[in-house]
Every structure is written in structure tokens, then in C-alpha cells.
Amino acid sequence: MFKILEKTELAANIWQMRIEAPRVAHSARPGQFVIVRVDEQGERVPLTISDYDPAAGWVAIVVQTIGVSTKKLCALGAGDSIADFAGPLGRPSEFVSEPPESLRTKRILFVAGGVGTAPVYPQVKWLHEHGVQADVIVGAKSREMLIMTDRMRAVAGNLYIATDDGSEGYKGLVTGLIGELIEKQGKQYDLVVAIGPMIMMKFVAATTRKYGIKTIVSLNTLMVDGTGMCGACRVSVGGRTVFTCVDGPEFDGHQVDFDEAMRRQGMYRSLEQRAEKIAQERAEGHVCKIGLDK
């Protein structure tokens, strides 16, 4: 069992949990993820690592209550434990293997959308600790949905906020802010890393292609078992089929077939809606006699 050391509400229906997991914390690198299972009957939930401390032995995850399993997880509190916390899984961010001297010559921009801010933070923090000051855009629908901005500001070279309704920072989409930084403020970037909703990453990649900037995206939301055995996370990158969990989760954004990826993601959304309906009926005392709730 893995103990929840701390639980903090970051925004409506978005929680951060620090989990006691010394072995995972010791091996974790930016860009990787874990598989969480609340109890013996729970489903496997892939969650990106949002922070970690090898010395203290904890790993932080950020969870948005969307489906049955995430609601069950977020119903737990500090002092409770979860059954499984497997990881770190996936490949670390590409820049982790680069010499710090080389990284310091690069101009890097991170674009985080919504809960995607969580996996961006450890990457920017790692770069900061190695003397690299990256720019960061954090986007959300409104000020109330922004998360981790204070922590991000402490490690970013420059932090830019974009909200759809203009309640904080730039009014509009993150793609518009990218254009403004480059065209109006004279910013130049060698690399863009975008993590957030699939549709956001698709249009960020389309925007950066116009400027000829290498772009990395994270397809962490497609994963199921996290080991490459189920094949559910397969996606086309550069015309080749890859598995998000073992070949990624980060890929060249200009090579990803986003339309295919979003179709696959939509299939999972339908299954999650069915699971939520079954859980609701069970809670109300309904017992299916013919096995349709399996």
C-alpha cells in the first residue's frame, strides 16, 4: 500500500496528492508517468508525475475528477493509502540526456494547457536546477482554472498566462499568445514543448510548424496498461505505428496524427461514460441479472 501524505485542491475538481513511494521517487525523471490503482478492484489509471523528491521519498500526482476511478481516488485523503503506484514508466524527456552546457544555449518555450501544467512543472524545474531558464505559457479557460502558477513562476525564465475569457493575462488561446511573443515581442525559440488537451497540442504544433520550430508533445492521456501489452495507446507518428506508453509519451508534434489520436481518445470517453453510469446504478442498489454491467 502507498500512503497519501498530502492532498491539496488546486482548482475545482483538480487535486494534487503527494504519495509515499521512495523507490519511484528515486528513479523518476521529467516526462515519465505512473500507473495508479486505488484498490484491488480498481482500474489502472495513468498519471504523469508532477513533482518528486528522492530524499524525502514522495512523488506528486495531479488528478482531475472526470470518471469513476479518478473520483474514487480523489475521495481519499491524507493518511489513506492506495493499492498500487507503479513506475516510473515511459521515456524521460529528451533533454534530460543532453549536456547542461548544450541546453543553456537553447531557447525553450513550454506551453501548458489546463491540467497539462502539472507534467510541465517538473520539466521546467529540472531545467532551472541545471541553469536553463525556459519560458512558459500556462493556459486555462479562466483564472479560477489556473493551477501551479506560483510554483511555475519560481522556476521559469518568464511566465505568461493566457485565459480564454481574459480574466488573467492574455485574452485568448495559447496559440495566439505564441504568435504575439514571436511576432510582436521578438522572441525566438529553438524548441517548444506542449502538454495539454489533444486539440490544444494539435493547434500548437500547427502554429509552430509555421515558424519552423521543433515541437514536442505528450500523449499521456491515451494510455491504459502502461506496459505496451494492451496496444490501446497505439498512435501514428510519421506514418509509423508506435505505442505511447513505451515509445513515449513524448513525440515530435509535427509528426503525430492528431486526428487519429483524438478518435481513439473519444472511444475511451464513451467507455468511461458507460462505467460511470454502471457505478451510479450500483450505488442506487441496481443489480444486473444478465451481466451487462461487466
- Check residue 284 and give its pLDDT: 54
293: Cβ contacts below 8 Å, ≥ 6 apart? 278, 281, 282
Q: How far apart are CA 36 and CA 159, in angstroms?
A: 31
- Check residue 248 and give its pLDDT: 85
**188 grid coordinates:** 525566438
Neighbours of 168 (CB within 10 A): 16
Q: Mean pLDDT by 10-residue block, N- to C-terminus, for the chain (294 residues)?
A: 94 94 96 91 87 96 88 92 92 91 93 93 96 95 94 95 94 95 94 94 95 93 70 86 88 92 71 49 52 50
Tell me: the pLDDT tens digits for 133-150? 999 999 999 999 999 999
Closest CA to 31 of 88, 92, 114, 89: 92
| Entry pTM | 0.85
Chain centroid offset of residue 255 CA:
19
* Contact indicator for 219, 264 with CB cutoff of 8 Å: no
- Check residue 2 and give its pLDDT: 94
| Vertex 86 angle, CA 150 and 98, to 5° | 60
Q: In angstroms, what CA-CA distances link 106 with 49, 135, 193?
A: 24, 11, 13
